[in-house]
Amino acid sequence: MKKGSKEVKIKFETDWKYAPAPESSDHIKLKSSYDLFINGEFVTPSSGKYFETVNPSNEKKIADVADANEKDVDNAVKSARQAYEKVWSRMPAKERGKYIFRIARIMQERARELAVIETMDGGKAIRESRDIDVPLAAAHFFYYAGWADKIEYAVPGTKTKSLGVAGQIIPWNFPLLMAAWKIAPALAAGNTVVLKPAETTPLTALKLAEIISDAGLPPGVVNIITGAGATGAALVNHPGIDKIAFTGSTDVGKIIQKALAGTSKKYTLELGGKAANIIFEDATIDQAVEGIINGIFFNQGHVCCAGSRLFVQESIAKKVIRKLKDRMETLIVGDPLDKNTDVGAINSKMQLDKIKQYIKIGMNEGGECFQTSCSIPTKGYWHRPTLFTNVSQSSRIVQEEIFGPVLSVQTFRTVEEVIEKANNIPYGLSGGVWTDKGSKIFRVTSALRAGVVWANTYNKFDPTSPFGGYKESGMGREGGLHGLMPYLSIEN
């Protein structure tokens, strides 16, 4: 804008509306009740108890799901042990690879069904489950299928061995993708698995159980048990487990780490995050604004690596914030099954309450809150895209993981200052840098204490690329060659 010219506010209220483009759910076949997948069969839980899984966009029950207790966990671990000793560890690696490849192919064939169920159960926009979650999940199986018969080349000059039975616990934000991140490398390395999906999003993992069955995987190689935190804890504490792979909150990660201390179990922890997304004055601003939007509003902000702390260089702050608010106003919040939707439903009432609590905290701390003016459905769990300015490093909304569509904005003047501010946090999972200067990219990315740092892009994932954190964001890496290591015992 020229000096002296008046800033024109863009009006988004027009008569032009997108026609609804709902993805059909008519082809979806869901049972009214789901049992536990143990030893290749669906079995009723020992307690006879079930819990409901609901669609967060309309609060309607989708199905009852079995609640596994300690006895069920024990059965699942025993079945995994038997499958490990009698079948999977003895099978030629090439054959194991074929099974994993087959799982990937069936996932691709059933991609549409998986995407719709993921959206119904978790609330995420169909555009994301269709174009990101499901293809990436299949890609992980394809990628690790390729590794199965090449493990001896993964760490040349050493002898590698599988560990045995892996207990795997996953969260609700990317249910199928997290299941793939866990199961694919474990199987490729020659281990068997007991996986517990999150209580609010068990359905795609149970569909994956059907796919695993269709792929003809020997019984017990993969067992999927549903339940709440107590089921996860029983799995962690089971003496028949050789390795725990956990993705979830830092609080639960700490409980698990304490429980495993002093045992011979190996473990990896993929925990929370609070990423800095840094915009320098020499960045391409419109592109950076898209990156900020994608960084924080992708999957309603339920993303461990979400760019939830925005740092803008002071000289361009006013302009960036204005453009950002304008762009936020264009986000379509609503029916997750509509292909136009950008921001879907919040995963659960509990998570919505947590986000609202943080909004109150932010206001009480003196933050200036901007929310988009869009209408949101009356039924279901929803939150408008939100931005806070006038926050400081010590604000709780800057320091703590909100896990929702809430962005805090701070400014900086120098490279050194922003590095200091970005690292001044208990987490260290991810980050983003936007600048025209390659040297600045190298300077900042190497100084950020974060497992993944994107430059002039954000939230890009690939099965060949390792992912994981420093500090309270956890330990160990998933994805790529690094993701195989935690499932192997390596001898020199």
Q: Locate 244 and state its tokens.
A: 């725990």
- From residue 395, alpha-carbon distances to 318, 324, 458 in Å are 21, 21, 24
Residues 117, 14 contacting (CB under 8 angstroms) = no
Residue 26 exposed, middle or buried by CB count within 10 Å (0-12, 13-18, 19+): exposed
Residues 121, 55 contacting (CB under 8 angstroms) = yes
Which H/E stretch holds residue 165? strand 165-169
Report helix, strand or coil for 461: coil
At its nearest, how many Å lie between ligand NDP and the CB of residue 9?
A: 36
Would you say how long the chain is, in residues?
Answer: 492
Examine residue 173 and tell whether it contacts ligand NDP (CB under 6 A): yes
Examine residue 463 and tell whether it contacts ligand NDP (CB under 6 A): no
DSSP track, 148-185 = GGGHHHHSTTSEEEE-SEEEEE--SSSHHHHHHHHHHH
Segment interacting with ligand NDP (CB under 6 A) among 105-113, 229-237, 333-341, 414-422: 229-237
Examine residue 137 and tell whether it contacts ligand NDP (CB under 6 A): no
Which H/E stretch holds residue 139? helix 134-147
For ligand NDP, the closer CB: 190 or 307: 307
270 catalytic? Reply is yes
For ligand NDP, the closer CB: 111 or 228: 228
Helix axes 111-122, 134-147, angle to 10 degrees: 120
For ligand NDP, the closer CB: 332 or 475: 475
Residue 338 DSSP code: B
Give the residues across from 333 on adjacent strands: 343
Segment interacting with ligand NDP (CB under 6 A) among 50-58, 153-161, 168-176, 364-372: 168-176
Examine residue 229 and tell whether it contacts ligand NDP (CB under 6 A): yes
> Which of 23, 128, 199, 304 is labelled catalytic?
304
Please pick, from the candidates 88, 99, 172, 370, the single residue that binds ligand NDP as defined by CB under 6 A.
172
Per-residue mark of binding to ligand NDP, 86-105 (x: CB under 6 A): --------------------
Please pick, from the candidates 28, 93, 111, 228, the single residue that binds ligand NDP as defined by CB under 6 A.
228
Segment interacting with ligand NDP (CB under 6 A) among 24-32, 269-277, 359-367, 376-384: 269-277
Examine residue 403 and tell whether it contacts ligand NDP (CB under 6 A): yes
Which H/E stretch holds residue 166? strand 165-169
369 catalytic? Reply is no
Segment interacting with ligand NDP (CB under 6 A) among 55-63, 80-88, 111-119, 264-272: 264-272
What is the rounded radius of gyration, in angstroms, for the C-alpha atoms of the chain?
Answer: 23
- From residue 453, alpha-carbon distances to 173, 186, 249, 305, 447 in Å are 21, 26, 21, 10, 10
Report helix, strand or coil for 36: strand
For ligand NDP, the closer CB: 219 or 466: 466
Examine residue 252 and tell whether it contacts ligand NDP (CB under 6 A): yes
The residue whose Cβ lies closest to ligand NDP is 232
Examine residue 429 and tell whether it contacts ligand NDP (CB under 6 A): yes
- Catalogue the active-site residues: 270, 304
Q: Which residues bind ligand NDP (CB under 6 A)?
A: 169-173, 196, 198-199, 228-229, 232-233, 236, 247-249, 252, 255-256, 270-273, 304, 401, 403, 429, 469, 473-474
